[in-house]
Structure 1
Amino acid sequence: MLPPVEDLARSIGQPVKLTRQALRELDADGDIVLSRRGAARRLRPDETHPKDEAVAREIRAGILSGHYRSGTPLPTGLLARRHSLGVRRMARVCRPLLGAGLLVHRGELDGPRLYVAVPDADQGGAGLIEDHALLSDQRGSALVRSNGDMNWLCLGRFDDPALLARLLGTAEHGLWRLAPAALPGAAAVPVPVRRYLGETLVHEIEWVTGTGTVKVTDFMPPGGEASQVVPMVTGVRGEVAMHSLLRVRPDYGHYLPRLDRVDDRCVALDPGQNSGGRLWAQATVPLRADGGDLRAAFTVTAGETVAFSLTYWEGIDSPPPQPALDALLKATLDHWTRWAGHCTYTGKDRADVLRSLLTLGALIYAPTGAIVAAATTSLPEEIGGVRQWDYRYTWLRDGALTSIALARCGYLDEALAWIDWMVRACAGTPERRRIMYRIDGGTDLREEVLAHLPGYEGSVPVRIGNGAADQLQLDVYGELADALREMALAVPAAAPRIAAVLVDLATELEPLWHKPDRGAWEIRGPLRHMTHSKMMSWATFDRAVRAIEQGWATGPLERWRELRETIHRDVCEKGYDPERNTFTQSYGSTDIDAALLHGLLTGFLPADDKRTIGTIEAVQRELGTDSGLLLRYPTEGEDVGVDGLTGDEGHFLIGTGWLSEALVRIGRVDEAQTTLATLVSLRNDVGLLAEEYDPHAGRQLGNFPQAFSHLAHVRAAQAVGSASARAAHATAAPQPTGTAS
């Protein structure tokens, strides 16, 4: 429910009469429901306004009966006139039908238009988030569902407009289905089994049918001139009838591409507006055009291979040369096997940790060294809520934490490449570094809403860009400083160059550290003095002072020593609650925040300090749940919370990783091991984690796969493994014995 009109008017600084009028207008547009007593509530994205139920039923019945035929425009103008509805009200009537997959937006020359969806390819929707596996060529990415459907594809760059966007909409927004054909009289297509091949990102699905066995191998070859995704179908036993449906819909499903046939096995596709290249669909079997789709029906026998590819070739208007696909597969396998071979982690859980490291490697944009936060945009933190964000960019915080995890496991080159990218990107904004950049260092991250997409399971808005890019987030300086110092220690020859960047960070932070900010969670509510941000400001000057003391750099040593102590006192006086023996989310607040665990991991206080132990226990007590997971901070349901948003969210997985590390630090290794095991148990069948987890629904939430979650796994495993090894060594060490007198 919305607050009473008097309270609402007071909170927005408007007269009650004007506020009441605004609510009536929102009710008239179908955005809220206003009762006779004046109480108001927001409509869920999939909910029809009571006044619109009749027209919504009419449209739904017309679609299901075939009166409005699949693939044809919905006569919205006629319907609006018949029911005396305005444009905005008509759009609100159709929104739940979009979410249900009955309607789809399609871009046309005069703007987007509503069409009746084609139902034949949308069986079961996009599936659960964790149903998917990741493909990457370290430039773009794809997500393949466990049934073989490719529901997300960005070729060329992680942050390019998706060519397949069924994940955030319906089948009409783009998918690639490659699976055994459903034969007349057959009971059903069998459930497939999938895996990654060895220590790689080559994905394989195998079906065992009544007539034979077949496998589909999906991969994105790294390092080539063009960016492409390659599915290969191989017969294993008997024979299997197969069907391929490639439905490319550029610009997040907004455009129906023009198809230009080169021959019966090669078709060019227009990738949409503002593109400097073309898409090429190629196959070793004939491709049949069906409207804007490409279909193929074929049978494979034991030992036979049929291959497909979709390639984006920039600046060239001729088909790309197609190398032998078995050689391309071998090159891809070799690339990732070599990459995995650099891993120095040797714990008993090496296979699990390596899968998380491979996932982090897959999120590296190789041309620049940037590391994206996740492969997707707008997967919801709460089903049906408003917390949908675009994570296909490079946050300085996320990149710094990822680079530390990589460096500690042998990937120094990747960590150094990220530092080089960071220096280049930040040089483009010398007045003050931003908290995130595009993967090429660009700064145009204007946030937009894609209104034509109904969202994952009706969760809207779907956003691209990110409005948090301009925020002041002081903790970023500390995460950067921590990563820089760690890399300087790991690569002494590079220490002077790295320390110079560290001094620049401290210089930039000096006039800023005392200001309120948005914090690590990018709150969109009022600015606050976030305690974690202040802890990380302390870490910045601590690392800068140490770099100067070690002779790596020059700077105002005494002034920064004093400032380090000033910040420390400030945090301990204003961010600490002595009655509860815990630090708090912000100065003067009573809330707890999981980010405090990370602040303490910097060495802000000794491990045996009562405030360290008290804060860890307070986080467990106030943010922990029966699932063994942590919330990041309290949310307020339908009321606006500290982050400026309504709604709730899942359990943020990096918090559980931080808790495991923090427990190791205070000597509770067994408890830390249990916490780590809880985190690892949430991975899907191919070892991937989203941003969050909902223990009540038993499903992953948020963008996927998420660097935060995987680096948390790596770092917690390192901490627990090292502590367990030390304990085992101490137990095994011979004890001194006395001598006879």
Structure 2
Amino acid sequence: MSDVAIADYGLLSDCASAALVSRGGSIDWWCPGRFDAPSLLGRVLDPDAGHWALNPTKAESDHRSERTYVDGTLVLRTVHHTSGGSVAVTDALLAEPGVPGHELGRNPPMVLARIVEGLTGTVRMRTEFVPRPEYGLITPYLHQHDGEVRVEAGPLALTLRSPVPLECTDGRAYAEFDVGAGQTLPFDLAHAPAWGPPPPRLDPVASLAETIDNWRAFSQLHDYGGRYPDLVRRSGLVVQGLTYQRSGAVVAAVTASLPEDLGGSRNYDYRYAWLRDFFLTMRALWVTACPEEAGRLFDWAARSAGRSGDQPVPIMYGVMGERDLSEYSLDHLRGYADSRPVRIGNDAWRQRQHDVAGEVLLCAYLIRDHLGELSEELKALLVDLAEEATRWREPDAGMWETRGSGRHYLASKALCWGALDSAIKLAPMLGHRADPARWAAVRDEIRAAMLRDGWNERVGAYTGVIGSSELDASVLVLPFTGMVSATDPRMRATIEAVEAELTTDGLVRRWPGEPAGFVVCTFWLVECLAMAGEMERATALFERTAARANDLGLFAEQIDPRTGAHLGNTPLTLSHVGLIGAAWRLTKPSFV
């Protein structure tokens, strides 16, 4: 099978794990239990790594499909039109029954439901279930019993319930069947640990209706009063779908090793939670009126960081706060579009990134009125991050996580300024270790040095690395920190230079020569233009960029300006919080 386009995938989530469904009706990615668990269905990374197809047979001519999310949910409904008739397939990771909206995802049943409904005529359908646990390393045993298929493999126990008889052979269950108008055929796949209670038995039709109700109840808890409300609410739902609700952690994406460049080696595992993304994610939760989720995310960060001592606060964690995310390669997988290596884990957890301090402390100041009395753990985290910012003269890996020796990134140092400026304002809340007088002296020193050394007279812009002549889109975050205004002549010149030199067909690349545009950088440019008073240009760029989402409103990490193809891991939290921030900036340009 040829690789499905990344933009052709839709997201299912139960706020603990996620699945990707192709437009053609194949679930090609599911890591049951938690986002960063080994995959059970992994065809997105290799044709033989597992899938579950449910779609019209190839004999059905003139097949076309259309799909949409059920309003206010991450429940996906795909309608297949064929020469013989039309059929709908509704896919969902089921929510736990009987919970209020704000507890969605705290204890999901780990059941994947697929409901087939005949709409018109008669359609010949097929289902092919090929489970391959442990990233495709295991071909499991399939046993039929009382109309069910039980899957036994390593640590997993699975039960596939089908309304039609299935033929099982060589780790594959298959059937063809007819669906007439008015018929409803429910399928469900339930997961549980092998050495515990059996997987749950739910009524998939009733549970699907309850899942829809739970998502809608969750959506109604949040409000947004700015421009582009439909786009913002959809991106807000995606961010919630990428939240591991048991802990409050937000993962960067639900996939691992989807390439930034087809056939290339920049393939990384993004199923973890980065403090780097903290400010933009927290701001998005704040903008979409999610104060409880914002508070839980802060609690998760404080607990995960623990005592740092003389070591820098780690930049990223597993969804339950794990620190060691050591990276390894799955050499048996070919990778998406032959992009190798396929990496699991992410060695960026070992890096020093000065920007982290600013992102967290800017957040704390933003939502200070919602934090209440700070716990001792949160006070310690914020003070430790302020102290890290005082070491701003040291090189770091930068927000793009460059591997190799560190450099002096301007954005990192500007975010150190933002960290200290926020810490000074928060000092009365931070306890006896707060040192606002010393922090103020260092903050002023940073600003003077950055305005002097960060500007490159020959380029006529602030460049990415101190002393370098190379532009870098990371400098667009400077106005977000408050260190420099977007209306400052040098910052205005930088914004214009980034638009002129790093933008192709309305998409902003991170650095010269990068083949694809980075979605969040394009939304940063929207914000900078709006802050600089260029509202007409900002609005046009926002609408053009928002239109590049797939048909379900999802963004991957990057977009190829030549083809429009989405690249990199998907859906990417940073892309969606970038959209939310840009929409709010167009509503309130002076928002900080």
- In 1, are the aligned partners of 2:478 and 2:484 still within 8 Å (CA)? no
- Aligned partners of 1:690, 1:379: CA distance in 2, in Å? 10
The alpha-carbon distance between structure 1 residues 681 and 723, as it changes in their structure 2 partners (threshold 3 A), is same
Query: Partner of 1:331 in structure 2?
Result: 210
Which residue in 1 is equivalent to 2:130?
A: 247
Give the Cα separation in 2 of the matches to 1:260 and 1:716: 52
The one of 458, 468, 476 equivalent to 2:356 is 476
Q: Secondary structure at the match of 2:588?
A: helix
CA gap 1:562/1:270 in 2 versus in 1, 3 angstroms? same
Distance, in Å, in 2 between the alignment partners of 1:193 and 1:473 is 43
CA contact (8 A) 2:158 2:199 kept: no
2:314 corresponds to which of 416, 429, 434: 434
Pick the aligned partner of 1:168 from 45, 49, 57.
45
Number of the residue aligned with 1:208:
81
Is 2:529 aligned against 1:663?
yes
* 8 A Cα contact 1:496 1:553, kept in partner: no
Structure 2 residue matching 1:270: 3-state secondary structure? strand
Could you say what secondary structure the match of 1:192 adopts? strand
Query: RMSD over aligned Cα, in angstroms?
Result: 2.1
Is the alpha carbon distance of 1:269 and 1:561 closer, same or farther for their aligned partners in structure 2, counting shifts above 3 Å? same
Q: Which moved more, 1:572-581 or 1:702-711?
A: 572-581
Percent of residue pairs identical: 36
Equivalent-residue separation in structure 1 for 2:194 and 2:303 (angstroms): 26
Q: Is the 8 A contact 2:67 2:79 kept in 1?
A: yes
**What residue number does 2:8 align with?**
131
Contact 2:284 2:581 in 1 (8 A): yes
What is the distance in 2 between the residues matched to 1:206 and 1:419? 41
Bigger radius of gyration, 1 or 2?
A: 1
- Pick closer, same or farther for the CA change 1:400–1:606 going to 2, 3 Å: closer
Higher mean Cα deviation, 422-431 or 390-399? 422-431
Of the three residues 677, 685, 692, the one matched with 2:543 is: 677
Equivalenced residue count is 579
Distance in 1 separating the partners of 2:258 and 2:378: 38
Unaligned runs of 5+ in 1: 1-121, 636-647, 726-741
Is the 1:499–1:547 contact (alpha carbons within 8 Å) kept by the matching residues of 2? no
C-alpha displacement at 1:703, in angstroms? Answer: 0.5
Is 1:270 the counterpart of 2:155? The answer is no
Distance 1:610 1:499 in 2: 38
Distance across 2 between alignment mates of 1:501 and 1:485:
15
Q: 1:711 aligns with which of 577, 581, 584?
A: 577
Change (3 A) 1:509 1:552: closer
Residue 210 (structure 2) pairs with residue 322 (structure 1): no
Residue identity opposite 1:176 in structure 2 = W
SS at match of 1:389: coil
Structure 2 unaligned runs (5+)? 97-106
1:565 partnered with 2:444:
yes
Q: Spell out the pairing of 1:592-631 with structure 2 (5 A cutoff).
A: 592-625=471-504, 627-631=505-509
Q: What amino acid maps onto 1:158 in structure 2?
A: F
Aligned equivalent of 1:153, options 22, 27, 30: 30
Distance 1:145-1:175 versus aligned 2 partners, 3 A rule: same
Distance 1:675 1:553, change over 3 A: farther
Indicate the residue corresponding to 1:230 in structure 2.
113
| Equivalent in 266, 271, 284 of residue 392 of structure 1 | 271
**Partner of residue 511 from structure 2, selected from 629, 633, 636:** 633
**Is residue 447 from structure 1 mapped to residue 327 from structure 2 by the alignment?**
yes
Task: Read off the aligned partner of 1:630 and give its amino acid letter.
Answer: V
The superposition leaves residues 239-291 of structure 1 with CA deviations (integer Å, 9 ceiling, x where unpaired) of 3222110011111112211223333x22222343xx2x412222232222121
Distance 1:475 1:399 in 2: 10
Q: 2: distance between equivalents of 1:511 and 1:262?
A: 65
> AA paired with 1:334?
D
- Does residue 199 of structure 1 match 2:72? yes
Aligned to 1:180: 56
Report which stretch shifted further, 687-696 or 602-611.
602-611
| Distance in 2 of aligned mates of 1:586 and 1:693 | 25
Separation of aligned partners in 2, 1:284 and 1:608: 64
TM superposition score normalised by structure 2: 0.93
Residue 662 of structure 1 and its aligned partner are, at CA, apart by: 0.7
Indicate how the Cα distance of structure 1 residues 412 and 182 shifts in structure 2: closer, same or farther if over 3 A, else same: same
Cα distance in structure 2, aligned partners of 1:497 and 1:482: 19
After TM superposition, the structure 1 stretch with the greater mean CA deviation from structure 2, 497-506 or 522-531, is: 497-506
Listed as ranges, the matches of 1:70-109 within 5 Å are none
Paired letter, 2:413 = K
* SS of corresponding position for 1:620: helix
Give me the whole-angstrom Cα distance separating, in 2, the residues matched to 1:463 and 1:551: 42
Distance (Å, rounded) in 2 between the aligned partners of 1:721 and 1:452: 49
Whether 2:136 is the aligned partner of 1:259: answer no
Does the CA-based 8 Å contact 1:488-1:494 persist in structure 2? no
Q: Which residue of 1 aligns with 2:556?
A: 690
> Deviation string for 1:619-656 (max 9, x for gaps)?
1222122x011110124xxxxxxxxxxxx441111101
* Residue type of the alignment partner of 2:212: L
1:129–1:701 Cα contact (<8 Å) kept: yes
Aligned to 1:738: none
SS state at 2:268 partner: coil
Contact 1:484 1:499 (8 Å CA) reproduced: no
